[in-house]
Structure 1
Amino acid sequence: MPNRLSVVMIAKNAADILPDCLASVAWADEVVLLDSGSTDATVTIAQQAGVKVFTDENWQGFGKQRQRAQSYATGDYVLMIDTDERVSTELAASVKAVLANPQPDTVYSIARRNLFLGRFMRHSGWYPDRVTRLYARNSYRYNDNLVHESLDAPGAKVIQLNGDLLHLTCRDFSGFQRKQLSYATAWAQERHLRGKKVSLAGIFGHTFGAFCKTLLLRAGFLDGKQGWLLAVVNAQYTFNKYTELWALNHGYTEREQL
């Protein structure tokens, strides 16, 4: 008998994109959604779709929130996804094959195809963009990182699944920029707490490096106009996070007056 699957996700104000996400995983044994305080119809939509909905507004970062969400799951295996992702038909078939014949001490990585300004990118470091999302519930969990959290699975064998996870990374550019800025702030705060420092030269070195890495080393130019624009966006994100770290290193705050 195949193992049971829990699709697990965290959410906040995702009413506009949640229905398609849930439709893509309707075949799972259960879907668990942990809401962090939505003010739109996210919770209602999820409940009407038969999702097991829980709420926890004590936000302590993405890693902690994913751990909490997983604690509500009851399946043998967890497929962790986001509300702006969709499981393709080919990927669903791959997951079902794992459930029917899982391997011990093994986690499974999935290729994400990321949308940027109307184009699913094939280069620029945005594809295959593999993420480890399928794993045995009682054996593994996410780390505590505030942002850019990942599955903590030391020593586990990693197998690549066929099929893509479609990621609506940038449907709305202004919203994408706001999210990038919040990620940059969380990244800088976490590094600052660890005692990390950066110089002015380091800020510009990392920024220029991010542009060149995206456009040249990761062949972003092959993604056309979007590849060039993404190189600039990645450089901007890098500039923001290192500048925020520099400001924290020097004790500057938004309340300071000139």
Structure 2
Amino acid sequence: MPVKKRLSVVLIAKNEASLLEECLQSVDWADEIILLDSGSSDGTQELARSLGAKVFANTDWQGFGKQRQLAQTHASGEYILMIDADERVSPELRQSIERCLQQPDEHTVYRLGRRNLFLGRFMRHSGWYPDRVNRLYKADKFRYNDDFVHESLNTGTAKIVDLDGDLLHLTCRDFFAFQRKQMNYAEAWAKQRYQQGKRCSYFAIISHTLGAFFKTWILRAGFLDGKQGLVLAGVNAQYTFNKYAALWAFSHQLQKSEPS
């Protein structure tokens, strides 16, 4: 009978004490839990330790991608399950992961379907479900890219296999906190694209914004998610507007600052 592979659950966090307990309880069956903290002041580190996690710290923030890379180096398990503090592994997903660890394929990356919470409703459409993410993989074969924001796992030529069960994602519990996070993401996205030499026109701001609303509400059947679907289509359009408007603004601010 094959020996079950050791699993390290890995997460990065900062000031997540209010979310952490349920998150870690949902993965307390793993062989180890690794938390890399980036400078919490709300007791996140102490709470994580009390719940059995191995806690490390790195306050030299260089973006989400590099922080995940560093967090993974602290793991001793043969397989990594990368999650966030606002995510919970459902019982069905746990069973899928444990079955997978009995006879895993080291050249395969396992993809999880997320159910995203938006204003009290776990969305079923709007592009928010199943919202598949690559999160379970062989520790010595895969790692995250260097992207500052919206980082992703470098899967190369790996086979991607979907697992049964949901990863519950408490995406939007507080609308205003969610909006602030969206604004921070938009700024980080625009800075990264600007540093890469990307630019956009005024027309691109408008076209991308309208396209985001149409894609969420119509193409991704957001209308089937009721009032939350309509609000989410507007939020996605607003987020897209902020991204491209910020990219447009960076180039114009630079031009204005240059001596004539």
Give the distance between the partners of 1:31 and 1:249, measured in 2 at CA: 43
Give the distance between the partners of 1:249 and 1:9, measured in 2 at CA: 35
Give the distance between the partners of 2:248 and 2:23, measured in 1 at CA: 38
Deviation at 1:252, TM superposition (A): 5.0
Aligned to 1:35: 37
Could you tell me which amino acid in structure 1 is paired with residue 4 of structure 2?
A: P
- Give the unaligned 5+ runs of structure 2: none
Aligned to 1:136: 138
Aligned to 1:87: 89
Aligned to 2:162: 160
Contact kept? 2:106, 2:137, Cα under 8 Å: no
Deviation at 1:216, TM superposition (A): 0.2
Give the distance between the partners of 1:196 and 1:218, measured in 2 at CA: 28
Could you tell me which amino acid in structure 2 is paired with residue 48 of structure 1?
A: S
Aligned to 1:206: 208
Aligned to 1:223: 225
Task: Please list the CA deviations of residues 111-162 of structure 1 after superposition, one character each: whole Å capped at 9, or x if unmatched.
Answer: 0000000000000000000000000000000000011100001100000000
Could you tell me which amino acid in structure 2 is paired with residue 202 of structure 1?
A: A
Give the distance between the partners of 1:230 and 1:109, measured in 2 at CA: 24
Aligned to 1:75: 77
Aligned to 1:58: 60
Give the distance between the partners of 1:230 and 1:250, measured in 2 at CA: 30
**Counterpart secondary structure, 1:250:** helix
Aligned to 2:246: 244
Runs of 4+ in structure 1 deviating by more than 3 angstroms, as ranges, are none
Contact kept? 2:112, 2:164, Cα under 8 Å: yes
Give the distance between the partners of 1:136 and 1:160, measured in 2 at CA: 15
How many residue pairs match? The answer is 256
- Give me the TM-score of the superposition, normalised by structure 2: 0.96
Give the distance between the partners of 2:120 and 2:101, measured in 1 at CA: 34
Aligned to 1:5: 7
**Counterpart secondary structure, 2:253:** coil
Aligned to 1:109: 111
**Counterpart secondary structure, 1:37:** coil
Give the distance between the partners of 1:72 and 1:105, measured in 2 at CA: 22
Aligned to 1:235: 237
**Counterpart secondary structure, 1:17:** helix
Give the distance between the partners of 2:166 and 2:247, measured in 1 at CA: 35
Deviation at 1:251, TM superposition (A): 2.6
Could you tell me which amino acid in structure 1 is paired with residue 236 of structure 2?
A: N
Task: Please list the CA deviations of residues 40-90 of structure 1 after superposition, one character each: whole Å capped at 9, or x if unmatched.
Answer: 011111010110000000100000000000010000000000000000000
Task: Please list the CA deviations of residues 203-237 of structure 1 after superposition, one character each: whole Å capped at 9, or x if unmatched.
Answer: 00000000000000000000000000000000000
Contact kept? 2:126, 2:220, Cα under 8 Å: yes
Q: Percent identity of the aligned residues?
A: 62
Could you tell me which amino acid in structure 1 is paired with residue 66 of structure 2?
A: K
Give the distance between the partners of 2:208 and 2:174, measured in 1 at CA: 26
Aligned to 1:181: 183
Give the distance between the partners of 2:251 and 2:114, measured in 1 at CA: 35
Deviation at 1:249, TM superposition (A): 1.6
Deviation at 1:104, TM superposition (A): 3.2
Aligned to 1:48: 50
- Give the unaligned 5+ runs of structure 1: none
- Give me the TM-score of the superposition, normalised by structure 1: 0.97
